[in-house]
Amino acid sequence: MKQYHVISRVAIYLLSIVLFVFGVFHFIYPRDMLVFVPSFMPGGIIWVYFVGAAFILVALSFLTNKMVKLAGYVLAIMLIIFVLTIHLPNYMNAGDKELRQISLINILKDTAIVGFALHIAAGAHHQKLHLEDSD
């Protein structure tokens, strides 16, 4: 059981590093990320910074093992929103074959991270959100 725990923590640390890099990228290159903010959303570049901060906070939560359940669920919800409002419309409306491929890869990447985030959140037994009595 001890080996499982070590491997599990290493996997969570790897995801944390990826999320941290994603978050930093949002702050270093906000104009590059702005094209992904849907036009129907007011606020523009504020959303880029918000998402960058969210990625960094989730990474820190996973690294420090604090508020892991909440961070995992928030990350999953945020990425599902990305898939539905950014990547799927880009996939459906892309005229170029390469852009469709990139959009599909982003759909698959974010969906995989959603699964990992939900797994992490569900495994955080010591942190209760009190959503259910059996949680």
* Per-domain boundaries in the chain: 2-123
Q: What is the pLDDT of residues 115-125, one digit of tens each?
A: 999 999 998 87
Which residue's structure tokens are 């604090």?
Answer: 66
Which two three-digit tokens encode residue 40? 């129907």
pTM greater than the 0.75 cutoff = yes
Q: How far apart are CA 65 and CA 26, in angstroms?
A: 24
Residue reference for tokens 């491997």: 7
Residue 25, burial from CB neighbour count under 10 angstroms (0-12, 13-18, 19+): middle
Query: Counting Cβ atoms within 10 Å, is residue 94 exposed (0-12), middle (13-18) or buried (19+)?
Result: middle
The tens digit of pLDDT for each residue in 7-61 reads 888 999 999 999 999 999 999 999 998 888 888 888 889 999 999 999 999 999 9
